[in-house]
Amino acid sequence: MGIKGTQLANEIAKSLRQYTSEVEKSLDELKGEVSKEAAEELKSSSPVGATGKYAKGWTVSKIGTSLVIHNKTDYQLTHLLENTHALRNGGRSKPLPHIGPVHDKVIEKFEREVEKRLSQ
- Kindly give the confidence (pLDDT) of every residue in the chain, 120 residues in length, as a single tens digit, with 9 standing for 90 and above: 567 778 888 989 999 999 999 999 999 999 999 999 999 999 999 998 888 899 999 999 999 999 999 999 999 999 999 998 999 999 999 999 999 999 999 999 999 999 999 887
pTM of the predicted protein model: 0.80
Nearest to 74 by CA among 110, 50, 93, 91: 50
Q: Which helix (H) or strand (E) holds 46?
A: none
Cβ neighbour number for residue 79 with a 10 Å cutoff: 10
User: Cα(34)–Cα(20) distance, rounded to whole angstroms?
Assistant: 21
